[in-house]
Amino acid sequence: MPNEYYSQFFEEYNEPFKSILLFLYDTSSTLFDLSFPLSVVFASFALISNLFHLMVLTRVSMRNTSVNILLTGLALTDSICMLNTIFDNFEYVTRPADLKCKPPSPYWSQILLQILINLEDISRRISPWIGVIMAVIRLLISSFPLNLIIRKMSKPVFGFLSLLACILVSTVIGARIYIPTTVIEIKPWVPKKECGYPANYSQPRFQPGPRDIDISEDLMTFLQLLDVNLPAVVLPLLTLLLVRALKKITAERLQFQSAPKEPDDTTKLVTLMTVLHVITECSIGICLLVTFVSKSSLVQIITWNLYYFFTLFFPLNSIAHLIISILLSSQYRTCVKETLSFLKIWKEEPVAQSSQGSSSRTIIVR
């Protein structure tokens, strides 16, 4: 049930609409409360999986295509986002119920928080656009397989340049909104007597200072909507075009071969990752769009609660990248075995041939 403050937002509605909104509010509030501890757990698993993902993707044998380079950038940006999620939400989850005796965060903590926020904002903006670039590359290569210029898009250098362009553009946009952000000292924190601190004890308190560039909240929301919804619109369109191109290629092959040829694993991998990006971006985008368009404070509260819950899709989507790569890429599976062997987790021991000339076997030791 809403507290006294939020109860005022229900007074303007009549039954049965009021009961429906009350149910939505209670449900969204429960999901909101669950989102913070779950985000710490999911983000921790996602960070571990992304670090291993990076170990595999950065091996020499994996740095041979533009898609793998872009996957490396995607794993790096996801790791930054997960680190910020853990840092931010862990403090929220572990804070004491009585905040009046909790001392303020030190200066270095505020600086670190602002750095992570800026890096997370840049990384969060890059992530869906990496999916767009991968889908465009596979679409063009599948549609024009004999074009030498387009074939160069599969080279690692193209993936690196595309990733660099995304970083530069995202940094410029982020600098416009978030940089420079300063940390200033405000009124010192003085604890209550019941907190048990010595007499006349105080501690400096810091908070983010005003930005040099003043941008309205509506404009910031609009830019965020554009960042989130544009990839959510472009990605499914690219997926449909990619599937159409693959069907066309399969039909053309049938004219020359007795059996159809299966689509390559890279295209399957990119297509499935694109679908996951669409699910994640659309759920977040719809919440932001409703919040931006709606004039009802109650509807905005409900959608904001759902927004924080749907952010759980980010770490789940990030974990899925590792699973998809293992399932669909034989090259990736080989590199996983090599990485595990390097870490002494997976080791292959050849068995010597017998004197009768039997073929050698490999025993996998774990």
DSSP assignment of 118-140: HHHHHHHHHHHHHHHHHHHHHHH
Q: Is 73 within 8 Å of 162 (Cβ atoms)? A: no
Q: Is 62 within 8 Å of 56 (Cβ atoms)? A: yes
User: Which CA distances in Å does 194 have to 7, 97, 114, 197?
Assistant: 33, 15, 32, 8
Identify the bridge partners of residue 208 per DSSP, sorted by sequence position: 183
What pLDDT score was predicted for residue 355?
Answer: 44
Q: Where are the alpha helices (DSSP H) in 255-329?
A: 265-293, 297-310, 313-328
CA dihedral (359, 360, 363, 364) positive or negative: negative
What pLDDT score was predicted for residue 358?
Answer: 43
d(CA 60, CA 308) in angstroms, rounded, equals 39
Give the tokens for residue 282.
């659309």
Task: Record the pTM.
Answer: 0.75
Give the tokens for residue 204.
């400096």
Domains of the chain plus CATH, in order, are 20-328 (1.20.1070.10)
Q: Is 71 within 8 Å of 322 (Cβ atoms)? A: no
d(CA 355, CA 54) in angstroms, rounded, equals 44
Rg (CA), the chain: 26
- Per-residue burial over 234-264, b if 16 or more Cβ lie within 10 Å, else e, is bbbebbeebeebbeebeeeeeeeeeeeeebe
Greatest Cα-to-Cα distance within the chain, rounded to the nearest angstrom = 90
Give the tokens for residue 28.
């969204």
What pLDDT score was predicted for residue 50?
Answer: 93
d(CA 131, CA 137) in angstroms, rounded, equals 10
d(CA 20, CA 27) in angstroms, rounded, equals 11
Element (H, E) at 208: strand 203-208
d(CA 137, CA 67) in angstroms, rounded, equals 8
d(CA 3, CA 32) in angstroms, rounded, equals 15
The pairing of strands 361-365 and 183-189 is unpaired
Through-space distance between the first and last CA atoms of the chain, rounded to whole angstroms: 53
User: How wide is the angle at C-alpha 281 spanned by C-alphas 171 and 35, nearest 5°?
Assistant: 100
What pLDDT score was predicted for residue 360?
Answer: 41
pLDDT tens track, the chain, 366 positions: 555 556 666 666 667 777 787 888 888 888 988 888 898 899 999 999 999 999 999 988 888 889 899 999 999 999 998 988 888 777 666 666 566 777 777 888 878 877 777 888 888 888 888 888 888 888 888 778 788 888 888 899 999 999 998 888 777 766 655 555 677 878 888 888 777 788 888 888 887 766 655 555 566 656 666 666 677 778 778 778 877 776 776 676 666 654 444 456 677 787 788 788 878 877 887 887 787 787 777 788 888 889 889 989 989 998 999 998 898 888 888 888 888 876 665 555 554 444 444 444 433 333
What pLDDT score was predicted for residue 343?
Answer: 61
Q: Is 94 within 8 Å of 69 (Cβ atoms)? A: no
d(CA 112, CA 229) in angstroms, rounded, equals 29
